[in-house]
Chains A and B, each alone.
Chain A
Amino acid sequence: MKNEYDVIVVGAGPAGSIAARFAAQEGVSVLMLEKDRDVGYPVRCAEAINKAGVEMFIKPDYKWITADVTKFSFTAPNGKEVVLEFDSVQGYVLERRIFDYELAKTAAAAGAEIITRAYVNGLIMEGGKVSGVTMEYRGEKKEIRAKIVIGADGTESRVGRWAGLQTHIDFRDMESCFQVTASNISVDPNTLYFHFGSQVSPGGYFWIFPKGKDTANIGLGINGAECKKRSSLSYLNENLEKLFPNASILTQVAGGVPCSVTLKKISGEGIMLVGDAARQVNPLSGGGIASGMIGGSIAGRLAGEAVKKNNLSHIFDYDKEWHKERGKTHEIFNRLKEGIYDFKDEDFNKIMGKMLDLPPEKRTMKRLFMIALANKPGLLIDVAKVFLV
Protein backbone atom coordinates (compact mmCIF):
# COMPACT_ATOMS: atom_id res chain seq x y z
CA MET A 1 0.00 0.00 0.00
CA LYS A 2 1.38 3.38 -1.01
CA ASN A 3 0.50 6.70 0.64
CA GLU A 4 -0.94 8.18 -2.49
CA TYR A 5 -3.07 6.97 -5.39
CA ASP A 6 -4.85 8.58 -8.30
CA VAL A 7 -8.17 6.94 -7.46
CA ILE A 8 -9.43 5.28 -4.26
CA VAL A 9 -12.58 3.14 -4.38
CA VAL A 10 -14.33 2.57 -1.04
CA GLY A 11 -16.20 -0.74 -1.06
CA ALA A 12 -15.52 -3.87 -3.11
CA GLY A 13 -18.99 -4.91 -4.25
CA PRO A 14 -19.87 -5.22 -7.94
CA ALA A 15 -20.14 -1.43 -8.45
CA GLY A 16 -16.84 -0.78 -6.67
CA SER A 17 -14.97 -3.55 -8.50
CA ILE A 18 -16.18 -2.39 -11.89
CA ALA A 19 -15.31 1.23 -11.06
CA ALA A 20 -11.83 0.13 -9.97
CA ARG A 21 -11.40 -1.95 -13.11
CA PHE A 22 -12.45 0.79 -15.52
CA ALA A 23 -10.30 3.39 -13.78
CA ALA A 24 -7.29 1.06 -13.80
CA GLN A 25 -7.83 0.36 -17.49
CA GLU A 26 -7.18 4.03 -18.14
CA GLY A 27 -3.72 3.46 -16.76
CA VAL A 28 -4.00 5.37 -13.48
CA SER A 29 -3.14 3.99 -10.02
CA VAL A 30 -6.17 2.59 -8.17
CA LEU A 31 -6.69 1.31 -4.62
CA MET A 32 -9.91 -0.44 -3.60
CA LEU A 33 -10.69 -0.73 0.13
CA GLU A 34 -13.15 -3.20 1.67
CA LYS A 35 -14.23 -3.00 5.30
CA ASP A 36 -15.17 -6.66 5.68
CA ARG A 37 -12.68 -9.50 5.88
CA ASP A 38 -13.79 -10.99 2.54
CA VAL A 39 -14.68 -9.55 -0.81
CA GLY A 40 -18.21 -10.78 -1.56
CA TYR A 41 -19.22 -11.83 1.91
CA PRO A 42 -21.65 -11.47 3.71
CA VAL A 43 -24.07 -11.56 0.77
CA ARG A 44 -26.85 -9.03 1.30
CA CYS A 45 -28.62 -9.74 -1.95
CA ALA A 46 -31.32 -11.91 -3.53
CA GLU A 47 -28.80 -12.55 -6.32
CA ALA A 48 -31.05 -12.38 -9.40
CA ILE A 49 -29.82 -10.37 -12.38
CA ASN A 50 -30.81 -9.95 -16.01
CA LYS A 51 -28.70 -11.64 -18.65
CA ALA A 52 -27.55 -8.51 -20.47
CA GLY A 53 -26.50 -6.92 -17.18
CA VAL A 54 -23.96 -9.67 -16.55
CA GLU A 55 -22.69 -10.06 -20.09
CA MET A 56 -21.79 -6.42 -20.35
CA PHE A 57 -19.02 -6.90 -17.79
CA ILE A 58 -18.04 -10.54 -17.40
CA LYS A 59 -18.39 -13.77 -19.38
CA PRO A 60 -21.13 -15.90 -17.78
CA ASP A 61 -19.60 -18.80 -15.92
CA TYR A 62 -21.47 -21.63 -14.18
CA LYS A 63 -18.94 -21.38 -11.38
CA TRP A 64 -21.08 -18.49 -10.09
CA ILE A 65 -24.42 -19.03 -11.84
CA THR A 66 -26.74 -21.28 -9.85
CA ALA A 67 -29.84 -21.04 -12.06
CA ASP A 68 -30.91 -19.91 -15.53
CA VAL A 69 -34.15 -17.95 -15.42
CA THR A 70 -36.74 -18.66 -18.14
CA LYS A 71 -39.97 -18.17 -16.17
CA PHE A 72 -41.50 -15.59 -13.87
CA SER A 73 -44.31 -16.53 -11.52
CA PHE A 74 -46.57 -13.95 -9.85
CA THR A 75 -48.92 -14.99 -7.09
CA ALA A 76 -51.87 -12.85 -5.98
CA PRO A 77 -53.04 -12.66 -2.36
CA ASN A 78 -55.88 -15.11 -3.19
CA GLY A 79 -53.37 -17.68 -4.40
CA LYS A 80 -53.94 -17.23 -8.15
CA GLU A 81 -50.68 -17.69 -10.02
CA VAL A 82 -49.63 -16.22 -13.35
CA VAL A 83 -46.56 -17.70 -15.02
CA LEU A 84 -44.74 -15.85 -17.78
CA GLU A 85 -42.64 -18.19 -19.92
CA PHE A 86 -39.82 -17.20 -22.23
CA ASP A 87 -38.08 -19.16 -24.98
CA SER A 88 -34.64 -17.98 -24.00
CA VAL A 89 -32.71 -17.38 -20.80
CA GLN A 90 -33.74 -14.00 -19.36
CA GLY A 91 -31.44 -13.85 -16.40
CA TYR A 92 -29.49 -15.70 -13.78
CA VAL A 93 -29.49 -16.37 -10.08
CA LEU A 94 -25.90 -15.83 -8.99
CA GLU A 95 -23.65 -17.10 -6.24
CA ARG A 96 -22.55 -13.65 -5.17
CA ARG A 97 -19.76 -14.74 -2.87
CA ILE A 98 -18.00 -16.19 -5.94
CA PHE A 99 -19.26 -13.60 -8.43
CA ASP A 100 -17.99 -10.62 -6.40
CA TYR A 101 -14.69 -12.39 -5.96
CA GLU A 102 -14.33 -12.93 -9.71
CA LEU A 103 -15.24 -9.30 -10.43
CA ALA A 104 -12.63 -8.11 -7.93
CA LYS A 105 -10.12 -10.35 -9.68
CA THR A 106 -10.84 -8.61 -12.99
CA ALA A 107 -10.19 -5.29 -11.27
CA ALA A 108 -6.91 -6.65 -9.90
CA ALA A 109 -5.96 -7.95 -13.35
CA ALA A 110 -6.51 -4.46 -14.74
CA GLY A 111 -4.00 -3.17 -12.22
CA ALA A 112 -6.07 -2.12 -9.18
CA GLU A 113 -4.71 -2.79 -5.70
CA ILE A 114 -7.24 -4.31 -3.28
CA ILE A 115 -7.15 -4.42 0.52
CA THR A 116 -9.77 -5.97 2.81
CA ARG A 117 -10.42 -5.23 6.50
CA ALA A 118 -9.67 -1.62 5.76
CA TYR A 119 -12.27 0.48 7.50
CA VAL A 120 -12.56 3.96 5.99
CA ASN A 121 -13.83 6.33 8.66
CA GLY A 122 -13.44 9.75 7.08
CA LEU A 123 -12.21 11.84 4.19
CA ILE A 124 -9.29 14.22 3.89
CA MET A 125 -10.82 17.52 2.83
CA GLU A 126 -8.70 20.36 1.48
CA GLY A 127 -10.39 23.60 0.53
CA GLY A 128 -13.74 21.91 -0.02
CA LYS A 129 -12.17 19.22 -2.21
CA VAL A 130 -11.90 15.56 -1.29
CA SER A 131 -8.24 14.59 -1.43
CA GLY A 132 -8.03 11.23 0.26
CA VAL A 133 -9.38 8.97 2.97
CA THR A 134 -8.61 8.27 6.61
CA MET A 135 -8.91 4.66 7.68
CA GLU A 136 -8.22 2.01 10.25
CA TYR A 137 -6.17 -0.91 9.06
CA ARG A 138 -4.82 -3.66 11.34
CA GLY A 139 -5.49 -1.48 14.36
CA GLU A 140 -3.57 1.47 12.93
CA LYS A 141 -4.92 4.81 11.78
CA LYS A 142 -3.78 5.68 8.29
CA GLU A 143 -4.18 8.52 5.82
CA ILE A 144 -4.05 7.82 2.12
CA ARG A 145 -4.23 10.62 -0.39
CA ALA A 146 -6.04 10.43 -3.72
CA LYS A 147 -7.07 12.77 -6.51
CA ILE A 148 -10.50 11.16 -6.72
CA VAL A 149 -12.43 9.06 -4.19
CA ILE A 150 -15.23 6.81 -5.47
CA GLY A 151 -17.77 5.91 -2.79
CA ALA A 152 -19.13 2.42 -3.40
CA ASP A 153 -20.06 1.85 0.22
CA GLY A 154 -23.55 0.50 -0.36
CA THR A 155 -26.81 1.31 1.37
CA GLU A 156 -25.02 3.16 4.18
CA SER A 157 -23.54 5.72 1.81
CA ARG A 158 -21.48 7.58 4.36
CA VAL A 159 -18.56 8.50 2.09
CA GLY A 160 -20.78 10.81 0.02
CA ARG A 161 -22.14 12.37 3.19
CA TRP A 162 -18.68 13.17 4.46
CA ALA A 163 -18.00 14.91 1.16
CA GLY A 164 -21.08 17.06 1.62
CA LEU A 165 -23.46 15.28 -0.74
CA GLN A 166 -26.99 14.59 0.41
CA THR A 167 -27.18 10.79 0.45
CA HIS A 168 -29.68 9.74 3.10
CA ILE A 169 -33.10 8.69 1.83
CA ASP A 170 -36.49 8.71 3.47
CA PHE A 171 -37.26 5.56 5.39
CA ARG A 172 -40.35 5.10 3.22
CA ASP A 173 -38.07 4.60 0.21
CA MET A 174 -35.86 2.14 2.07
CA GLU A 175 -37.17 -1.38 1.54
CA SER A 176 -36.47 -3.22 4.74
CA CYS A 177 -35.51 -6.77 3.76
CA PHE A 178 -34.85 -10.10 5.35
CA GLN A 179 -33.77 -13.21 3.49
CA VAL A 180 -32.84 -16.79 4.18
CA THR A 181 -31.18 -19.30 1.91
CA ALA A 182 -33.21 -22.43 2.48
CA SER A 183 -32.59 -26.02 1.45
CA ASN A 184 -34.76 -29.14 1.60
CA ILE A 185 -37.51 -27.41 -0.36
CA SER A 186 -38.96 -28.08 -3.79
CA VAL A 187 -38.94 -25.33 -6.45
CA ASP A 188 -38.69 -25.12 -10.22
CA PRO A 189 -35.03 -24.23 -10.79
CA ASN A 190 -35.80 -21.90 -13.71
CA THR A 191 -38.60 -19.81 -12.20
CA LEU A 192 -38.38 -16.62 -10.19
CA TYR A 193 -41.39 -16.54 -7.85
CA PHE A 194 -42.96 -13.30 -6.65
CA HIS A 195 -45.79 -13.17 -4.10
CA PHE A 196 -47.83 -10.07 -3.33
CA GLY A 197 -50.29 -9.07 -0.65
CA SER A 198 -50.74 -7.28 2.63
CA GLN A 199 -50.48 -10.53 4.59
CA VAL A 200 -47.36 -11.66 2.73
CA SER A 201 -45.29 -8.56 2.18
CA PRO A 202 -47.02 -5.16 2.37
CA GLY A 203 -45.53 -2.46 0.16
CA GLY A 204 -43.06 -4.86 -1.43
CA TYR A 205 -42.89 -8.46 -2.50
CA PHE A 206 -41.97 -11.87 -1.20
CA TRP A 207 -39.46 -13.67 -3.42
CA ILE A 208 -38.29 -17.20 -3.99
CA PHE A 209 -35.24 -17.22 -6.24
CA PRO A 210 -34.08 -20.81 -6.85
CA LYS A 211 -30.47 -21.92 -6.64
CA GLY A 212 -31.10 -25.44 -7.91
CA LYS A 213 -34.22 -27.54 -7.41
CA ASP A 214 -33.95 -27.95 -3.67
CA THR A 215 -32.42 -24.63 -2.56
CA ALA A 216 -33.52 -21.02 -2.92
CA ASN A 217 -33.09 -17.50 -1.66
CA ILE A 218 -36.35 -16.80 0.11
CA GLY A 219 -36.95 -13.32 1.37
CA LEU A 220 -39.05 -10.22 1.34
CA GLY A 221 -38.88 -6.49 1.38
CA ILE A 222 -41.47 -4.19 2.89
CA ASN A 223 -41.43 -0.44 2.70
CA GLY A 224 -40.49 1.68 5.66
CA ALA A 225 -44.03 2.88 6.35
CA GLU A 226 -45.21 -0.71 6.77
CA CYS A 227 -42.10 -1.71 8.63
CA LYS A 228 -43.04 0.85 11.25
CA LYS A 229 -45.86 -1.47 12.31
CA ARG A 230 -44.21 -4.87 11.94
CA SER A 231 -40.73 -6.03 11.02
CA SER A 232 -39.86 -7.87 7.82
CA LEU A 233 -38.39 -10.68 9.89
CA SER A 234 -41.78 -11.44 11.45
CA TYR A 235 -43.47 -11.55 8.02
CA LEU A 236 -40.79 -13.86 6.67
CA ASN A 237 -41.09 -16.28 9.55
CA GLU A 238 -44.83 -16.49 8.93
CA ASN A 239 -44.45 -17.04 5.17
CA LEU A 240 -41.79 -19.70 5.68
CA GLU A 241 -43.95 -21.53 8.19
CA LYS A 242 -46.84 -21.52 5.71
CA LEU A 243 -44.99 -22.39 2.48
CA PHE A 244 -41.87 -24.28 3.50
CA PRO A 245 -42.36 -25.73 6.98
CA ASN A 246 -39.56 -28.27 6.50
CA ALA A 247 -36.97 -25.90 5.12
CA SER A 248 -33.45 -25.99 6.50
CA ILE A 249 -31.99 -22.54 6.82
CA LEU A 250 -28.44 -22.19 5.49
CA THR A 251 -28.01 -18.43 5.81
CA GLN A 252 -29.97 -15.54 7.28
CA VAL A 253 -29.37 -11.98 6.32
CA ALA A 254 -30.99 -8.58 6.82
CA GLY A 255 -30.59 -5.64 4.49
CA GLY A 256 -31.90 -2.37 3.20
CA VAL A 257 -32.60 -1.70 -0.47
CA PRO A 258 -32.82 1.98 -1.42
CA CYS A 259 -35.77 2.02 -3.87
CA SER A 260 -35.77 5.63 -5.03
CA VAL A 261 -34.55 7.68 -7.94
CA THR A 262 -30.82 8.31 -8.12
CA LEU A 263 -29.48 11.06 -5.85
CA LYS A 264 -29.64 14.58 -7.28
CA LYS A 265 -25.88 14.88 -7.14
CA ILE A 266 -23.59 11.87 -7.46
CA SER A 267 -20.35 13.71 -8.11
CA GLY A 268 -18.56 16.58 -6.40
CA GLU A 269 -15.07 18.01 -5.96
CA GLY A 270 -12.93 14.86 -5.96
CA ILE A 271 -15.82 12.54 -5.14
CA MET A 272 -18.08 10.19 -7.10
CA LEU A 273 -20.72 7.75 -5.87
CA VAL A 274 -21.66 4.43 -7.48
CA GLY A 275 -24.11 1.59 -6.88
CA ASP A 276 -26.39 1.54 -3.84
CA ALA A 277 -24.43 4.45 -2.39
CA ALA A 278 -25.63 6.64 -5.28
CA ARG A 279 -29.10 5.05 -5.03
CA GLN A 280 -28.68 3.52 -8.49
CA VAL A 281 -31.03 0.63 -7.72
CA ASN A 282 -33.95 -0.04 -10.08
CA PRO A 283 -36.72 1.32 -7.83
CA LEU A 284 -39.41 -0.97 -9.25
CA SER A 285 -37.67 -4.34 -8.94
CA GLY A 286 -35.12 -3.47 -6.28
CA GLY A 287 -32.40 -5.00 -8.46
CA GLY A 288 -29.11 -3.19 -8.13
CA ILE A 289 -26.26 -5.40 -9.36
CA ALA A 290 -26.48 -4.60 -13.07
CA SER A 291 -27.25 -0.89 -12.69
CA GLY A 292 -24.56 -0.55 -10.02
CA MET A 293 -22.03 -2.04 -12.41
CA ILE A 294 -23.13 0.35 -15.17
CA GLY A 295 -22.72 3.27 -12.76
CA GLY A 296 -19.33 1.88 -11.74
CA SER A 297 -18.15 1.60 -15.34
CA ILE A 298 -19.05 5.20 -16.14
CA ALA A 299 -17.56 6.56 -12.92
CA GLY A 300 -14.37 4.49 -13.23
CA ARG A 301 -13.78 5.50 -16.83
CA LEU A 302 -14.42 9.21 -16.16
CA ALA A 303 -12.18 9.17 -13.10
CA GLY A 304 -9.37 7.56 -15.11
CA GLU A 305 -9.79 10.03 -17.95
CA ALA A 306 -9.90 12.98 -15.56
CA VAL A 307 -6.59 12.00 -13.97
CA LYS A 308 -4.98 11.31 -17.34
CA LYS A 309 -6.11 14.65 -18.75
CA ASN A 310 -5.16 16.35 -15.49
CA ASN A 311 -8.61 17.94 -15.53
CA LEU A 312 -10.50 16.85 -12.42
CA SER A 313 -13.67 18.72 -13.30
CA HIS A 314 -14.13 16.10 -16.05
CA ILE A 315 -15.80 13.90 -13.39
CA PHE A 316 -18.78 16.26 -13.19
CA ASP A 317 -19.93 14.76 -16.51
CA TYR A 318 -20.80 11.64 -14.52
CA ASP A 319 -24.23 12.93 -13.44
CA LYS A 320 -25.23 13.61 -17.03
CA GLU A 321 -23.85 10.37 -18.44
CA TRP A 322 -25.54 8.29 -15.77
CA HIS A 323 -28.83 10.07 -16.35
CA LYS A 324 -28.63 9.33 -20.07
CA GLU A 325 -27.61 5.71 -19.56
CA ARG A 326 -29.88 4.55 -16.72
CA GLY A 327 -31.06 7.45 -14.57
CA LYS A 328 -33.84 8.43 -16.95
CA THR A 329 -35.18 4.88 -17.06
CA HIS A 330 -35.05 4.69 -13.27
CA GLU A 331 -37.23 7.79 -13.08
CA ILE A 332 -39.82 5.95 -15.18
CA PHE A 333 -39.54 2.85 -13.00
CA ASN A 334 -40.00 5.04 -9.96
CA ARG A 335 -43.20 6.52 -11.40
CA LEU A 336 -44.49 2.98 -12.03
CA LYS A 337 -43.55 2.03 -8.48
CA GLU A 338 -45.48 5.02 -7.15
CA GLY A 339 -48.38 3.92 -9.37
CA ILE A 340 -48.66 0.49 -7.78
CA TYR A 341 -47.49 1.60 -4.34
CA ASP A 342 -50.93 1.78 -2.73
CA PHE A 343 -52.44 -1.34 -4.33
CA LYS A 344 -54.75 -3.31 -2.07
CA ASP A 345 -55.11 -7.07 -2.07
CA GLU A 346 -58.25 -6.84 -4.27
CA ASP A 347 -56.25 -4.93 -6.88
CA PHE A 348 -53.66 -7.69 -7.10
CA ASN A 349 -56.39 -10.35 -7.26
CA LYS A 350 -58.12 -8.49 -10.08
CA ILE A 351 -54.91 -8.04 -12.10
CA MET A 352 -53.92 -11.69 -11.83
CA GLY A 353 -57.49 -12.73 -12.70
CA LYS A 354 -57.40 -10.62 -15.84
CA MET A 355 -54.00 -12.03 -16.80
CA LEU A 356 -55.30 -15.58 -16.41
CA ASP A 357 -58.20 -14.77 -18.75
CA LEU A 358 -55.69 -14.06 -21.51
CA PRO A 359 -54.31 -16.88 -23.66
CA PRO A 360 -50.84 -17.85 -22.36
CA GLU A 361 -48.98 -16.44 -25.38
CA LYS A 362 -50.40 -12.99 -24.68
CA ARG A 363 -49.23 -12.92 -21.07
CA THR A 364 -46.23 -10.62 -21.07
CA MET A 365 -44.59 -8.27 -18.62
CA LYS A 366 -45.82 -5.28 -20.60
CA ARG A 367 -49.39 -6.59 -20.59
CA LEU A 368 -49.17 -7.21 -16.86
CA PHE A 369 -48.30 -3.58 -16.17
CA MET A 370 -50.80 -2.35 -18.77
CA ILE A 371 -53.56 -4.14 -16.85
CA ALA A 372 -52.22 -3.03 -13.48
CA LEU A 373 -52.11 0.63 -14.47
CA ALA A 374 -55.21 0.68 -16.71
CA ASN A 375 -56.87 3.36 -14.62
CA LYS A 376 -53.72 5.50 -14.51
CA PRO A 377 -53.49 6.35 -18.23
CA GLY A 378 -50.62 8.77 -17.68
CA LEU A 379 -48.40 5.85 -16.75
CA LEU A 380 -49.24 3.66 -19.74
CA ILE A 381 -46.79 5.53 -21.95
CA ASP A 382 -44.13 4.89 -19.32
CA VAL A 383 -44.97 1.18 -19.43
CA ALA A 384 -44.62 1.18 -23.21
CA LYS A 385 -41.23 2.91 -22.88
CA VAL A 386 -39.64 0.44 -20.51
CA PHE A 387 -41.23 -2.89 -21.41
CA LEU A 388 -40.69 -3.83 -25.02
CA VAL A 389 -42.47 -7.17 -24.73
Chain B
Amino acid sequence: MLFIMTMLFYILNFQLSYSINESALMYRTAKKGKLMIDILPDKCDFCGCCVGVCPEDAIELKEAEIKIIDERCTNCAKCVYSCPIEVIKFNKEGVLFDRHVIM
Protein backbone atom coordinates (compact mmCIF):
# COMPACT_ATOMS: atom_id res chain seq x y z
CA MET B 1 0.00 0.00 0.00
CA LEU B 2 2.71 2.38 1.10
CA PHE B 3 4.69 1.46 -1.96
CA ILE B 4 1.79 2.27 -4.25
CA MET B 5 1.26 5.58 -2.52
CA THR B 6 4.91 6.45 -2.80
CA MET B 7 4.84 5.55 -6.47
CA LEU B 8 1.72 7.62 -6.96
CA PHE B 9 3.37 10.52 -5.19
CA TYR B 10 6.38 10.33 -7.45
CA ILE B 11 4.26 10.07 -10.58
CA LEU B 12 2.08 13.01 -9.60
CA ASN B 13 5.04 15.04 -8.47
CA PHE B 14 6.80 14.32 -11.71
CA GLN B 15 3.81 15.37 -13.73
CA LEU B 16 3.39 18.53 -11.69
CA SER B 17 6.90 19.75 -12.21
CA TYR B 18 6.67 18.73 -15.85
CA SER B 19 3.60 20.87 -16.41
CA ILE B 20 5.29 23.83 -14.75
CA ASN B 21 8.24 23.47 -17.08
CA GLU B 22 5.86 23.17 -20.00
CA SER B 23 4.01 26.39 -19.17
CA ALA B 24 7.29 28.13 -18.44
CA LEU B 25 8.10 27.63 -22.10
CA MET B 26 5.34 30.06 -23.04
CA TYR B 27 6.92 32.89 -21.14
CA ARG B 28 9.37 35.27 -22.70
CA THR B 29 12.95 34.93 -21.57
CA ALA B 30 13.38 37.84 -19.24
CA LYS B 31 16.77 39.45 -19.54
CA LYS B 32 18.80 39.52 -16.38
CA GLY B 33 17.65 42.28 -14.04
CA LYS B 34 15.11 43.52 -16.56
CA LEU B 35 11.37 43.83 -15.93
CA MET B 36 9.39 42.40 -18.79
CA ILE B 37 5.72 41.78 -19.35
CA ASP B 38 3.94 38.54 -20.05
CA ILE B 39 0.44 37.44 -20.93
CA LEU B 40 -1.10 34.31 -19.44
CA PRO B 41 -2.94 33.11 -22.57
CA ASP B 42 -4.90 30.40 -20.80
CA LYS B 43 -6.56 32.97 -18.53
CA CYS B 44 -7.10 35.65 -21.18
CA ASP B 45 -10.59 36.74 -22.29
CA PHE B 46 -9.26 38.10 -25.64
CA CYS B 47 -11.04 41.43 -25.21
CA GLY B 48 -8.42 43.56 -26.96
CA CYS B 49 -8.07 46.20 -24.26
CA CYS B 50 -4.28 45.75 -24.21
CA VAL B 51 -4.04 45.91 -27.99
CA GLY B 52 -5.89 49.24 -27.99
CA VAL B 53 -3.45 50.89 -25.59
CA CYS B 54 -0.25 49.36 -26.99
CA PRO B 55 1.75 52.17 -28.62
CA GLU B 56 3.95 49.72 -30.55
CA ASP B 57 1.33 47.35 -32.01
CA ALA B 58 3.21 44.60 -30.23
CA ILE B 59 0.29 42.36 -29.31
CA GLU B 60 -1.23 39.90 -31.75
CA LEU B 61 -4.80 38.80 -31.01
CA LYS B 62 -6.82 36.18 -32.86
CA GLU B 63 -10.15 34.61 -31.92
CA ALA B 64 -8.69 32.78 -28.94
CA GLU B 65 -4.95 33.29 -29.26
CA ILE B 66 -2.82 36.08 -27.94
CA LYS B 67 0.90 36.71 -28.04
CA ILE B 68 3.43 39.47 -27.58
CA ILE B 69 5.59 40.28 -30.58
CA ASP B 70 9.00 40.24 -28.93
CA GLU B 71 10.85 42.54 -31.32
CA ARG B 72 8.30 45.32 -30.97
CA CYS B 73 7.52 45.22 -27.24
CA THR B 74 9.29 47.91 -25.22
CA ASN B 75 7.89 46.66 -21.89
CA CYS B 76 6.16 50.00 -21.28
CA ALA B 77 3.54 48.14 -19.21
CA LYS B 78 0.51 50.11 -20.46
CA CYS B 79 -1.18 46.82 -21.28
CA VAL B 80 -0.48 45.53 -17.77
CA TYR B 81 -2.36 48.48 -16.26
CA SER B 82 -5.31 48.34 -18.62
CA CYS B 83 -6.08 44.62 -18.35
CA PRO B 84 -9.51 44.21 -16.65
CA ILE B 85 -8.74 40.73 -15.34
CA GLU B 86 -5.03 41.02 -14.56
CA VAL B 87 -3.75 38.34 -16.87
CA ILE B 88 -0.83 40.47 -18.03
CA LYS B 89 1.94 40.20 -15.47
CA PHE B 90 5.40 41.50 -14.87
CA ASN B 91 8.10 38.97 -15.49
CA LYS B 92 11.34 39.41 -13.61
CA GLU B 93 13.95 36.88 -14.59
CA GLY B 94 11.28 34.27 -15.18
CA VAL B 95 9.23 34.92 -12.02
CA LEU B 96 5.78 36.46 -12.52
CA PHE B 97 4.45 39.34 -10.42
CA ASP B 98 1.11 41.15 -10.15
CA ARG B 99 1.05 44.85 -10.98
CA HIS B 100 0.54 46.03 -7.38
CA VAL B 101 3.55 44.10 -6.21
CA ILE B 102 5.80 46.02 -8.55
CA MET B 103 4.34 49.47 -7.81
Q: Do A and B bind each other?
A: yes
| Residues of chain A whose beta carbon lies under 8 Å from any beta carbon of chain B | 35-37, 44, 117, 119, 121, 154-158, 161-162, 168-171, 174, 176-178, 224, 227-233, 252-256, 258
| Chain A binder among B1-9, B10-18, B19-27, B53-61 | B53-61
B48 in the interface, Cβ–Cβ < 8 Å? Answer: yes
Most A C-beta atoms less than 10 A away, residue of B45, B49, B61, B99: B49
Which residues of the partner chain A approach B81 to less than 8 Å between Cβ atoms? 171, 224, 227-228
With A117-B63, A171-B53 in contact, is A155–B47 under 8 Å at CB? yes
Q: Is the CB of A174 within 8 A of B49?
A: yes
Other-chain contact of A255, B47, B54, B60, B63 (Cβ < 8 Å): B47
Which residues of the partner chain B approach A254 to less than 8 Å between Cβ atoms? 45, 47, 49, 83-85
Which 4 A/B pairs are nearest by Cβ-Cβ distance? A256-B49, A156-B51, A156-B48, A254-B45
Q: Is the CB of A176 within 8 A of B84?
A: yes
Q: Is the CB of A232 within 8 A of B63?
A: no
Which residues of the partner chain A approach B49 to less than 8 Å between Cβ atoms? 155, 174, 176, 254-256
**How many angstroms from the CA of A170 to the CA of B53 in the assembled complex?**
6
**How many angstroms from the CA of A235 to the CA of B49 in the assembled complex?**
18
Q: Is the CB of B78 within 8 A of A155?
A: no
B32 in the interface, Cβ–Cβ < 8 Å? Answer: no
Other-chain contact of A35, B55, B62, B103 (Cβ < 8 Å): B62
Q: 0/1 per residue, B74-90, Cβ < 8 Å to A?
A: 00001001111110000
Other-chain contact of B86, A36, A161, A174, A233 (Cβ < 8 Å): A233
Query: Number of contacting residues on B, CB 8 A?
Result: 25
**How many angstroms from the CA of A119 to the CA of B45 in the assembled complex?**
17
Which residues of the partner chain A approach B82 to less than 8 Å between Cβ atoms? 171, 174, 176, 224, 227, 256
Which residues of the partner chain A approach B85 to less than 8 Å between Cβ atoms? 178, 231-233, 254
Q: Is the CB of A224 within 8 A of B63?
A: no
CB distance from A262 to the nearest CB of B (A): 14
Q: Is the CB of A36 within 8 A of B63?
A: yes
**How many angstroms from the CA of A275 to the CA of B81 in the assembled complex?**
24
Which residues of the partner chain A approach B48 to less than 8 Å between Cβ atoms? 154-156, 255-256
* Contacts of B36-72 to chain A: CB distance below 8 A: 45, 47-55, 57, 60-63
**How many angstroms from the CA of A302 to the CA of B51 in the assembled complex?**
28
Q: Is the CB of B51 within 8 A of A35?
A: no
Most B C-beta atoms less than 10 A away, residue of A156, A168, A178, A224: A156
Most B C-beta atoms less than 10 A away, residue of A117, A154, A158, A162: A158
CB distance from B4 to the nearest CB of A (A): 41
CB distance from A122 to the nearest CB of B (A): 11
With A176-B82, A233-B84 in contact, is A157–B103 under 8 Å at CB? no
15 A-B residue contacts at CB 8 Å?
A: A35-B62, A155-B52, A156-B61, A157-B52, A169-B52, A171-B78, A176-B49, A229-B100, A231-B85, A232-B85, A252-B45, A253-B47, A254-B83, A256-B48, A256-B49
Which residues of the partner chain B approach A44 to less than 8 Å between Cβ atoms? 47
Nearest CB in chain B to that of A153: its residue: B48
Q: Is the CB of A256 within 8 A of B84?
A: yes
With A117-B63, A231-B83 in contact, is A174–B52 under 8 Å at CB? yes
With A227-B82, A233-B86 in contact, is A256–B57 under 8 Å at CB? no
Which residues of the partner chain B approach A156 to less than 8 Å between Cβ atoms? 48, 51-52, 61
**How many angstroms from the CA of A119 to the CA of B50 in the assembled complex?**
18
Which residues of the partner chain B approach A233 to less than 8 Å between Cβ atoms? 84-86
Which residues of the partner chain B approach A258 to less than 8 Å between Cβ atoms? 52
**How many angstroms from the CA of A228 to the CA of B51 in the assembled complex?**
16
Besides A168-B54, A254-B84, 5 other A-B contacts (C-beta < 8 A): A161-B57, A171-B78, A171-B82, A174-B82, A229-B103
Q: Is the CB of B52 within 8 A of A168?
A: yes
Which residues of the partner chain A approach B54 to less than 8 Å between Cβ atoms? 168
Nearest CB in chain B to that of A119: its residue: B62
Nearest CB in chain A to that of B87: its residue: A254
Which residues of the partner chain B approach A169 to less than 8 Å between Cβ atoms? 52-53
With A161-B57, A230-B100 in contact, is A176–B83 under 8 Å at CB? yes
Which residues of the partner chain B approach A37 to less than 8 Å between Cβ atoms? 63
**How many angstroms from the CA of A233 to the CA of B99 in the assembled complex?**
14
